[in-house]
Amino acid sequence: MNHLDEQVLPPQFDLPSLERNAFEWRALKNTLLTGFVWLLAVIASIPLFSVIYMLVVEGGARLDLEAITALPPAGFEMGGGFGNAIVGTLVMVGIAAAISIPLGTMAAIYLAILDPSSKLATTSRFLAKVLTGFPSILAGVFIYAVLVVTTGTYSAWAGGVALAVLMLPTVTLAAEEAMKQVPQKMKDAAFGMGCTNTQVIMKVVLPTGLPGILTGVILAVAGAAGESAPLLFTALFSNYYMAELAEPTASLSILIYNFSGMPFDNQIELAWAASLVLVMIVLIFNVLARVVGKSKFKD
């Protein structure tokens, strides 16, 4: 543009002023644009603060011992809570973690160390990335067809497995990334001493990459805890504490979804309180992930 050309022009006889002029178009534009990005950043943070405000004010008002232990109220009933939903969420996330973490970590070991450039590794890595962008409701539809129809009942199992389908690619990719951060020279040292592949992985790569792997895993758990679409028609919902894993099971997110559309203030207040609990669960995992990730080895 022209103002760039000005720079290249040979010096004039009377030297141009080198002082900055605040009202020159170039400077003015700079100030305006800087103000604009600041504005964008502030706008982007408004929803978060608004959500947090609502959770604390609306949800906090109703969050008491009864809310986190009692059973969900029916239509016009007052009081009640969502104790069974907290238990259900934790149990299903537990099932999902128990399936996806070992599977995902082992897959990551293959992708990151055993044979990173093989056909299987490149295909799996690509499909895992595609799966992370996969609509979560499809995991629900899939598990409905595979588990609910065949076993004939909605269950915590089905809900947990649906969440595991969502967690698997996240855990795999995060663990692979963390293992790749382990310096090659450390692996060389282990190979150089005559370690088998397994010994290199178990004695050097996993211990060294552990903080990173844990961070990824915990974030995946946090994401799963907040999921609702895959539970809609796999775990369904229940108004009672779970007695076994093979029966419809309540979860916080489905409770919020169900209660949000009800015309009763009591249920809506409980939906806010449940949201607060759900967000706190998710945030605790997030903070945990950060703390664990900080204790990274130095190179």
Please list every residue from 12 through 31 that binds another protein, using CB under 8 A: 26-27, 29-30
Q: Does 54 bind another protein (CB under 8 A)?
A: yes
For another protein, which residue of 133, 243, 265, 294 counts as binding (CB under 8 A)?
Answer: 133
Shortest distance, position 64 Cβ to another protein, whole Å = 19
For another protein, which residue of 84, 155, 172, 215 counts as binding (CB under 8 A)?
Answer: 172
With CB under 8 A as the contact rule, which of the stretches 66-74, 80-88, 221-229, 238-246 interacts with another protein?
A: 221-229
Distance CA 128, CA 165 (A): 11
Strand ranges for the chain from DSSP E: none
Site for another protein in 226-255 (CB under 8 A): 226-229, 232-233, 236, 253
Site size toward another protein (CB under 8 A) is: 108
Shortest distance, position 76 Cβ to another protein, whole Å = 21
- 3 versus 17: smaller Cβ distance to another protein: 3
CB 182 within 8 A of CB 249: no
**Short-list 88, 103, 104, 252, CA closest to 158:** 88
- Write the interaction track for another protein spanning residues 111-130; mark x where CB under 8 A is met and - where it is not: x--x--x--xx-xx-xxxxx
Contacts with 22 (C-beta within 8 Å, 6 or more apart), sequence order: 28, 31
- 1 versus 78: smaller Cβ distance to another protein: 1
Contacts with 229 (C-beta within 8 Å, 6 or more apart), sequence order: 135, 136, 137, 139, 140
Distance CA 217, CA 251 (A): 21
Distance CA 89, CA 252 (A): 6
CB 55 within 8 A of CB 246: no
For another protein, which residue of 208, 215, 238, 249 counts as binding (CB under 8 A)?
Answer: 208
For another protein, which residue of 166, 168, 178, 242 counts as binding (CB under 8 A)?
Answer: 168
